[in-house]
Copies of this chain bind each other. A is one copy, B any other.
Amino acid sequence: MSEILTRQDCLALDAADPLRELRNQFTLPEGVIYLDGNSLGALPAATPARVAAAIQQEWGEGLIRSWNSAGWIAQPQRLGDKIARLVGAAPGELVVADSTSVNLYKVLSAALSIAKADAPERKVILSDRENFPTDLYIAQSLCAQHGLTLELTSAAELQARLAGGADIAVLMWTQVNYRSGQMLDMARVTALAHAAGALTIWDLAHSAGAVPVDLKGAQADFAIGCGYKYLNGGPGAPAFAWAHPRHADRFWQPLSGWMGHAAPFRFDTDYRPAQGVSRYLCGTPAVLAMSALECGIDTLLAAEPLGGMAALRAKSLQLSRLFIDQVRQRCAAHALPLASPLDDAQRGSQVSLAHNEGGYAVMAALIERGVIGDFRAGASSEAEPDLLRFGFTPLYTRFVDVFDAVTALAEVLDSGEWRQARFNQRAAVT
């Protein structure tokens, strides 16, 4: 455990933080400490004007002409090239389209199309028992369609399972677990999967914009990711999809809409996929939503002159370590087992604390005090506890925010105020 930092120490850390100016890119509400950027990123200050221009000038004035004059038609590739810079991919390798779930359907189909050609005897999709449910649901659908088996394992058992993995067609994993924040070493796991002859799909929902990702360096096969978490693209923002160039002209995906056609404006009767990852496209691009997403991506690219994702990662780890230390020191009277890895190398950009007695109410009481994290129910067991989740987004989270959040947590727990009935009136929370 580190020395005990005071609030003054945290203010000093903020003052010395080389990334401190990046926070000015965001519009954050007064009186709120926002520790839920892992669920929905905060609003970039540039977004309202950019979307207003897309609506009023491009749509309102330009009307149909803006497909060309405002570059709407090239948005999926243009934004894809920007995201590529954040995840270790090259221009032309990544496109923005649809939702994360829809894109997972495409990339899993794509991987299966290649596995079927190269190794038709492999019948297993291997994934994480604790994967985000939508990933499992999409895999279940494709397993039912293709006569495959979805087998679930854990990060701890993964290496042993891959060692005997001659039956595995595809390893599909979310690099940073949405509950615990546990992060896998993509290069190492990809190498193990490849050694077993399996293809890899990486869900970067909690990685892209949160931790350095090097898809090409890891020799990964396929990837998808989310636009509304660490990319700050706004609620329900479009998602992205990537394929390694060695697969990009070869894979098949079933959502064969006109925008993924080799020549969409020839209006041919027969489908012919576009070159490369543009075949991931399906329907007409979501222009307005992509305008907002681009502003979000730009908040991350603004960190490039300051060291980019490596610098953001260093600060993220400082923030999450500070949070862990402060909770240990200042909430020691309460049972709050750490549900995230203590080892920096295995921790994404969030920290989860177990609280089976009243996690939902504790979070509700925190939110009333202006500290916004979120709650994820478990099986209320030791193996899968109820969780308080706190996300740290180095673009806009300050060290003093961490200190003040722990102050609020300590007060909520010390006072027992969370035991009041009003804090336990559950509503759906994403």
**9-residue interface stretch from A59-67, A214-222, A310-318:** A59-67
Q: Contact partner of A102 among B27, B48, B138, B257, CB < 8 A?
A: B257
Contact of A288 with B137 at beta-carbon distance under 8 Å, contacts A283-B101, A283-B239 already known: no
Contact of A138 with B256 at beta-carbon distance under 8 Å, contacts A236-B287, A282-B99, A289-B288 already known: yes
A271 adjacent to B59 (CB under 8 Å): no
Report the minimal beta-carbon distance from A373 to chain B, rounded to whole angstroms: 9
Report the minimal beta-carbon distance from A169 to chain B, rounded to whole angstroms: 17
A24 close to chain B: CB less than 8 A: no
Report the minimal beta-carbon distance from A246 to chain B, rounded to whole angstroms: 24
A98 adjacent to B56 (CB under 8 Å): no
A283 to B264, CA, bound (A): 25
Task: Name which residue of chain B comes closest to A146, CB basis.
Answer: B145
Residue numbers in B under 8 Å from A36 (CB-CB): 63-64
**9-residue interface stretch from A128-136, A191-199, A345-353:** A128-136
Report the minimal beta-carbon distance from A107 to chain B, rounded to whole angstroms: 13
A234 to B287, CA, bound (A): 8
A184 close to chain B: CB less than 8 A: no
**9-residue interface stretch from A37-45, A82-90, A403-411:** A37-45
Q: Contact partner of A52 among B52, B259, B430, CB < 8 A?
A: B52
Residue numbers in B under 8 Å from A268 (CB-CB): 133
A308 close to chain B: CB less than 8 A: no
Q: Contact partner of A65 among B65, B234, B259, B367, CB < 8 A?
A: B367
B288 adjacent to A257 (CB under 8 Å): no
Q: Contact partner of A271 among B48, B60, B141, CB < 8 A?
A: B141
Give A6-55 interface residues, CB cut-off 8 Å to B.
27, 29, 32, 34, 36, 39-40, 42-43, 47-48, 51-52, 55
A265 adjacent to B430 (CB under 8 Å): yes
User: Beta-carbon contacts of A371-392 to B below 8 Å, as 1s and 0s?
Assistant: 0101011000000000000000
A63 to B429, CA, bound (A): 12
Residue numbers in B under 8 Å from A289 (CB-CB): 236, 286, 288-289
A255 close to chain B: CB less than 8 A: yes
A235 adjacent to B288 (CB under 8 Å): yes
Report the minimal beta-carbon distance from A8 to chain B, rounded to whole angstroms: 28
Residue numbers in B under 8 Å from A58 (CB-CB): 235
Residue numbers in B under 8 Å from A290 (CB-CB): 236
Report which residue of A29, A64, A66 has the largest number of chain B beta carbons within 10 angstroms of its beta carbon.
A64
Contact of A63 with B40 at beta-carbon distance under 8 Å, contacts A105-B254, A133-B268, A255-B101 already known: yes
Beyond A47-B55, A136-B271, list 20 extra A-B contacts (CB 8 Å): A27-B60, A48-B56, A55-B234, A64-B372, A65-B367, A67-B429, A68-B428, A72-B236, A98-B283, A99-B257, A99-B286, A101-B255, A101-B259, A133-B267, A134-B258, A136-B269, A136-B270, A138-B256, A235-B287, A238-B286
Chain A residues proximal to chain B, CB less than 8 Å:
27, 29, 32, 34, 36, 39-40, 42-43, 47-48, 51-52, 55-56, 58-61, 63-68, 72-73, 98-102, 105, 129, 132-134, 136-138, 140-142, 145, 152, 228, 234-239, 254-259, 261, 264-271, 282-290, 292, 367, 372, 374, 376-377, 427-430
